Structure 1
Amino acid sequence: MHCQTIVLGAGIVGVSTALHLQARGRQVILIDRDAPGSGTSHGNAGLIERSSVIPYAFPRNVGALLRYGLNRQPDVRYSLLHLPKAAPWLLRYWRQSAPGRLAGAAADMLPLVQRCVEEHDLFIEAAELGGLVQAKGWIEVYRDPALFDQAKDEVKGLARYGLRYEILERDQLQAREQRLGSDVIGGIHWLDPKTVSDPGALTRGYAALFVKRGGQFLHGDARSLRQLDGHWQVTSQRGPVSADEVVACLGPQSAELYAPLGYHFPLGIKRGYHMHYATRGDARLEHSVCDTQGGYVLAPMARGVRLTTGIEFAASDAPGNEIQLQRCEALARQLFPALGERLDDTPWLGRRPCMPDMRPVIGPAPRHKGLWFNFGHAHHGLTLGPVTGRLLAELVTGQTPFTDPAPYSAARFD
């Protein structure tokens, strides 16, 4: 089999990239060893996060660093065995989180974040997936008056981004989310983001749209990628597939492809968990809610209320560990007392692919003609999948990109 472009990886980034290439006239085959949307794209908090204009940075406050060093916080946990291996990456991340460098990362990411909702909307309408998406935003809640006051001040500093939000005092918040615990003193309701009740189903719906428009999805192993006689070849369930160009959208598995080719990108993995819960009686959670102190999100999903945890630094292939989920669950039952029994047999474990400079890798491979990268979206794979898919497709097809691609270039690490 031969096509113009192979896209490796059928998560939200890969599927979106395939759709954008297809819309620009490319004959595309999408390949993954698993079903579309079954990896990290399945297990996230379901936020299309238009309000996240400042990347998640490494804490610089000495007090915060000391607290995290004790390894007892609910939002970040680390494995002692993994820490020596992770330390160089964490140090690089810490350096890139200095105020000036963080401001630079925010400026570079803004063109992507600004377009995230509208790029999703185009696919949602075409795939008729509006039933999975809500335009109610999400709510950041606070239990500590000092932290709430600090958040109000920080929100004012975001005025130049034109974000829509409402500051909710205790009574206003309780009116909007009537089942929250009494210790919640207020919140910030971010109105621009959209929420998805089944992120995996959304990705599968986008993949179905790709196939409906004439694309092919095949099961295959990206690790079989070879360059032969000027073409790229991958082994699939239907035999070898060759193409003039290949786009690697493999998220946390990206190193399995680029390392054998001689690239050494500083890709880090932030692990995270989710669990679904029933609610007691007729209780409902109306909005996705983030506990800023606990670092977790409670989101109303098709299966129930999904709790997604913050960050765990551990070996990517290490067995799951429930410590972080248990800490967050205890806090969540105080925040939302109507949280009922668990609905999943075991917690879901996902892996977020992160670059220390808080920018994804989007663009051509520096030393291999016809090889392109689109990975490293950190906490915002669902948010940025369609918009980075568009940027990559514009570069592959020689169109004028909607924004300068230089900040995301793979050559910055080469």
Structure 2
Amino acid sequence: MDADVIVLGAGMVGVSAALALQQRGRQVWLLDRRAPGEETSHGNAGLLERAAVIPYGFPRQLSSVLRLAANRSPDVRYHPATLPSYAGWLWQYWRESAPARLAATGRAMLPLLEACLPEHDAWIRAAGVTELRRSEGLLEAWRGEATFFDEAANAQRIAREYGLGLTVLDAAALHQAEPGLGQGFSGAIHWHDPHSIRDPGALVRGYAAYFQTLGGVLKQCAVQGLRQAGNGWQVHTDAGVYQAREVVLALGPWSDDLYTPLGYRIPLQVKRGYHMHYYARGPGLQRTVVDMENSFLVAPMARGLRLATGVELARRDAPPTPNQLAQAEALAQGLFPLGERVDAEPWVGCRPCLPDMRPVIGAAPRHPGLWFCFGHSHLGLTLGPVSGRLLAEMMLGEQPFTDPAPYSPARFA
């Protein structure tokens, strides 16, 4: 065997699984066709979203569904030719977003969210990347005054129920907190618990470098297939065949390329997203600000202000269609301090999503020595380390810090 464990995928989730196992004394190899943090983990909002206690569900109101169906909304766009392949998945997503099911998912995800910041804190310090993290929280800003008052009351209820910190800011208080914003927001909800990362890809690279200092092996190669061999597994790549007793599949939106040939029918789909960086005008921003009515955000990043869009339903490898980004950019002008574009082209990436809004973390039901860790949707950056910890505890026979049943691959058997 080349290693005790081979982890496939060097995004936040894969790097976290590899690091958690290496810390526990396993000899781990980490394989990916690209360098750590260069795919989905590179292009996200940069939030460690501790306050995301309400899952990102499918809208249930008919008016909202009809608005999205028009395909002109800044929060969700779709490629019409793609919808037939998404139909079954969207039906499952809609069903799982019913109030009782959504509440069950919220309860299932809460232990991961409660542990996410301590897990990141330990690794950020150990990896020596403390300069990447900011703890000023997150601003959810609303344009409509009546909507803002209703949402602020709802947020206060959620904060009390889940022990979260928040401050409700009216327009004057919001301008004092973020003088770089223009006039147009009625107010904002300042969530105190979320942390932000000024370069998400650099955070993943920092964790990967820490993994290597502990003796982990990082190899850049394209994985082409998996095969059981004796008491272990063979991983076929464009650089040769590697062997290990156990394999962790953590390839995010590409995971189905390897589990489907093994006979698993896990309903993984992608939600694409775009981002662009801009030079900051004036004082810029101190915190990430979400335009809640239009579902885009602007975050202060190492390269400038990052505007990140909502959701695009499209084939994983379809050519980019940055109309959604252009729409968000137009809505942001005059309200956010965006100067000239920094990037030559918009970035586009894929979030790996499951219809019940929970990741898959656990043993493959029919293949001993194969483990799954993917499908973290909008929370991969947030939940990478805590998912890696849970997976490592299961693989080593330790007592898991929380019941892993809600994330079991067997739920799709």
Instruction: Give the TM-score, by structure 1 length.
Output: 0.98
Q: Equivalent residue for 2:169?
A: 168
Q: Partner letter of residue 314 of structure 1?
A: A
Q: Equivalent residue for 2:121?
A: 121
Deviation, 1:149, is 1.5
Q: Equivalent residue for 1:140?
A: 140
Q: What are the residue-to-residue correspondences of 1:246-325 with 2, within 5 Å? A: 246-280=247-281, 282-325=282-325
Mapped contact 2:156–2:166 kept (Cα < 8 A):
no
1:351 aligns with 2:314: no
Q: Equivalent residue for 1:223?
A: 224
Matched residues in 1 for 2:225 and 2:268: separation? 21
- Identity within the alignment, %: 55
Aligned to 1:82, what secondary structure does the other structure show?
Answer: helix
Matched residues in 2 for 1:82 and 1:237: separation? 30
Deviation, 1:238, is 5.8
Greater CA deviation, 399-408 or 143-152?
143-152
Matched residues in 2 for 1:300 and 1:327: separation? 20
Deviation, 1:78, is 0.9
Q: Equivalent residue for 1:387?
A: 386
Q: Partner letter of residue 351 of structure 2?
A: R
Mapped contact 1:45–1:308 kept (Cα < 8 A):
yes
Q: What are the residue-to-residue correspondences of 1:71-90 with 2, within 5 Å? A: 71-90=71-90
Matched residues in 2 for 1:189 and 1:204: separation? 30
Mapped contact 2:223–2:238 kept (Cα < 8 A):
no
Deviation, 1:183, is 1.1
Matched residues in 1 for 2:180 and 2:370: separation? 51
Deviation, 1:237, is 6.7
Matched residues in 1 for 2:223 and 2:393: separation? 23
Q: Equivalent residue for 2:109?
A: 109
Q: Equivalent residue for 2:183?
A: 182
Aligned to 1:389, what secondary structure does the other structure show?
Answer: helix
Q: Partner letter of residue 23 of structure 2?
A: A
Q: Partner letter of residue 374 of structure 1?
A: C
Greater CA deviation, 234-243 or 92-101?
234-243
Q: Partner letter of residue 346 of structure 1?
A: E
Mapped contact 1:29–1:215 kept (Cα < 8 A):
yes
Q: What are the residue-to-residue correspondences of 1:39-54 with 2, within 5 Å? A: 39-54=39-54
1:412 aligns with 2:401: no
Matched residues in 2 for 1:314 and 1:368: separation? 31
Matched residues in 1 for 2:177 and 2:378: separation? 27
Aligned to 1:136, what secondary structure does the other structure show?
Answer: coil
Mapped contact 1:220–1:234 kept (Cα < 8 A):
no
Deviation, 1:333, is 1.2
1:228-273 Cα shifts (integer Å, max 9, x gaps): 1221112357632211100011100010010011101011110000
Matched residues in 2 for 1:344 and 1:238: separation? 33
1:308-334 Cα shifts (integer Å, max 9, x gaps): 100001111110001100110011113
Deviation, 1:225, is 1.9
Mapped contact 2:169–2:188 kept (Cα < 8 A):
yes
Deviation, 1:156, is 2.8
Aligned to 2:305, what secondary structure does the other structure show?
Answer: strand
Deviation, 1:76, is 0.5
Q: Partner letter of residue 360 of structure 1?
A: P
Q: Equivalent residue for 1:214?
A: 215
Q: Partner letter of residue 307 of structure 1?
A: L
Q: Partner letter of residue 411 of structure 1?
A: A
Deviation, 1:284, is 1.6
Mapped contact 1:75–1:294 kept (Cα < 8 A):
yes
Matched residues in 2 for 1:198 and 1:108: separation? 29
Matched residues in 1 for 2:179 and 2:36: separation? 37
Mapped contact 1:225–1:232 kept (Cα < 8 A):
yes
Aligned to 1:94, what secondary structure does the other structure show?
Answer: helix
Aligned to 2:224, what secondary structure does the other structure show?
Answer: helix
Deviation, 1:335, is 2.2
Q: Partner letter of residue 300 of structure 1?
A: P
RMSD of aligned residue pairs (Cα, Å) = 1.1
Aligned to 1:373, what secondary structure does the other structure show?
Answer: strand
Structure 2: tracts of 5 or more residues without a match: none
Q: Partner letter of residue 2 of structure 1?
A: D
Q: Equivalent residue for 1:31?
A: 31
Matched residues in 1 for 2:388 and 2:173: separation? 39
Mapped contact 1:78–1:314 kept (Cα < 8 A):
yes
Aligned to 1:368, what secondary structure does the other structure show?
Answer: coil
Q: Equivalent residue for 1:202?
A: 203
Aligned to 1:225, what secondary structure does the other structure show?
Answer: strand
Deviation, 1:164, is 0.6
Mapped contact 1:220–1:235 kept (Cα < 8 A):
no
Instruction: Give the TM-score, by structure 2 length.
Output: 0.98
Matched residues in 2 for 1:409 and 1:251: separation? 16
Structure 1: tracts of 5 or more residues without a match: none
Q: Partner letter of residue 275 of structure 2?
A: H
Matched residues in 2 for 1:197 and 1:70: separation? 35
Deviation, 1:178, is 0.6
Matched residues in 1 for 2:295 and 2:399: separation? 39
Q: Partner letter of residue 177 of structure 2?
A: R
Aligned to 1:404, what secondary structure does the other structure show?
Answer: coil
Aligned to 2:279, what secondary structure does the other structure show?
Answer: strand
Mapped contact 2:272–2:314 kept (Cα < 8 A):
yes
1:155-190 Cα shifts (integer Å, max 9, x gaps): 133111000111001111000001212111100011
Mapped contact 1:220–1:237 kept (Cα < 8 A):
yes
Mapped contact 1:219–1:236 kept (Cα < 8 A):
no
Matched residues in 2 for 1:184 and 1:343: separation? 26
The aligned length equals 412
